[in-house]
Amino acid sequence: MRKWLIGCGVLFGIVLVLCIGVLVWAFTPPKIDIPPRQLPPNNAYDEYRAMAEEMKQRLDADTRFKQIENAATAGQPLSATDRAYYLQRIEPYLRRYQSLTQRPSIVSVERSVHTRLPELAQIRRIARAEVYLMREELRQKRYRAAIARADRLSRLAEQVRNGGPLIHYLVGVAIHAIALQPIREELPRIQDRAALEALLKLARDYEKRRVPLWKCMQEEYYFILSVYQELLDGRTTIDQLTGSDSTPQTSTSRDEMLPYQLLVKTALPELNRVMTQAIEESKQPFHKRRPEKMDPDKNARHLLNAIIIPVSFEASDKEASEVATMRLVGCTAAIRLHKLRTGKYPASLEALQLGEMIIDPFSGKPFVYKTDPRFGFLLYSVSQNRTDDGGQSPYGGAPESRGDLSPVSVRVPDHLKGVRREQLPLVAPVWLR
C-alpha cells in the first residue's frame, strides 16, 4: 500500500511538473529575431515614396489627366492639345525619377501588415508614361533615345525590389515587361549599330544589377515574422489578416492575446522550415528548381501559416521568364553586331562570348539558335513548358504554358482580337536578319 501511495505521489508530481511546464511554455511569448535593414545614406526609396504621395494627390484628382492617360496607355492617338497637357503634368515626375535612378535604393517601408504602398502604383504610372514616349521615339527611328528610357526603367525596377518582399519583386517584373514590350515589337527593324550596342549593354547591365528572387523571398520571410510579432503585440488580429476586419486595432488584454500567442508559437517551427526551404530552392539554377519545394503555401499545414504564407512558385517562373526575355534581346543584338562586323552570322551562340547570357533559364542550355541563308536567324527559349515547340510563340510575347519564348513580341492581329487568350493560335517562328 505504501509503495502504491509513493508511486501515485511520484506520478502526480510528474504530471504537476508537466502541467506547470506547459503553462509556462504557453504564457511565455516566443522570441522572434528580425534583422534590421541596412539602409544607404541618401536612400532614393524614401524620395520615391514622397514623390508617389504627391503624384497620388495631384494626378488622381485630375480627371482630364486620367482620361488622357487611359487613352495613351491603350495606344489611342492623342490630339496635340491632349498630348501637351499629359506631358505637362507627368514630365516633372519623369525628370525627378530619372535623377533618382542614379542613387542607391533599398526598400525602407515598415514591415507591417498595415503599411500602405502608394509608390508601387505611381511607379507603374511612370513606367506607362515612359513607354508612351518610347513608342513615339521608336516610330521616329530614334532607337538610342528609346533604349535609354528602357535602361532607366530597368534601373527603377531593381530599385523597387531591392530589399523588398514578393510584392515589390512582382512590381519589378511588371516594369521590366512594360519597358521591353515596345522594343520587342520593333526589334525586327532595329539594325543601327549604335542602337544594337545600346541593347547589348542594357542586357549586360541587367545581368549585373538584377535583384534575384531569393533575396525578396528572404525579405518576405522577415515580413511574415514581423506580422507575427504584431499579433503577439496586439497590433493586428487574424480578422485583419484575412481582410474581414479593416478597423484599427485597439489595446488587447493578456487573456485575449493568449490564443494568438499559442497560434504564433505553434506556427513558427513550420514557418521557419518551409520558408527556409523555399529560399534555398530559389537559389538553385532555374531549370533545377522543384515546384514542391519552391511553394511554401502548399507545404503549410498550420492555420496561421496557411493564411499568410504566399504562393511563390509562380514568382519563380516569372523570374525565369524575365531573365530569358532580357537575354534573348541581348543575344539578338549581339548576333546582328557579329553580322555587321564579319558579314555572316555566328556559327553558334558560344562564338559570341557572352557567358551566361546565352543560357536559357528554362533548360540550363544555350537558347535554340538556327540560321538559314534564305531567312536569317531564329532564336528562342523553350519557355515554361520546357518543350521545344519549333519557335512558335504566343501573341503579345508573354510566356505561357504552351509555345516558346521569342525575343520578338507580335501583337494580336485585328481579326483575332476578342478571341480568348487560350484559344489564340501560336505565332509562327519569327526569323530575323
d(CA 174, CA 128): 11
Q: Give the span between the Cα atoms of 105 and 190, in whole angstroms.
A: 33
367 neighbors 379 (Cβ within 8 angstroms): yes
Residue with cell 504566343: 394
Closest to 184 in 3D by CA, of 60, 322, 371, 283:
322
Instruction: Report the distance separating Cα 387 and Cα 381, nearest Å.
Output: 9
Dihedral sign of CA atoms 335, 338, 340, 342 in order: negative
Residue 375: helix, strand or coil by DSSP? Answer: coil
pLDDT of 247 reads: 55
Listed as own residue / partner, the contacts of 110-117 with beta carbons closer than 8 Å and 24 or more positions apart are 111/34, 111/165, 111/222, 111/223, 111/226, 111/227, 112/226, 112/227, 112/230, 112/235, 113/227, 113/230, 113/236, 113/240, 113/241, 114/230, 114/235, 114/236, 117/167
Distance (Å, rounded) from C-alpha 19 to C-alpha 361?
A: 54
Cα(391)–Cα(388) distance, integer angstroms: 7
Look at residues 121, 290, 287, 323 and name the one whose alpha carbon lies nearest to residue 212. Answer: 323
| Residues in the chain where the model's pLDDT stays below 50 | 10, 15-27, 249-255
CB neighbours (10 Å) of residue 275? 24
pTM of the full structure: 0.89
Residues 39-56: pLDDT tens digits?
A: 999 999 999 999 999 999
d(C-alpha 343, C-alpha 337), whole Å: 10
Q: What is the CA radius of gyration of the chain?
A: 27
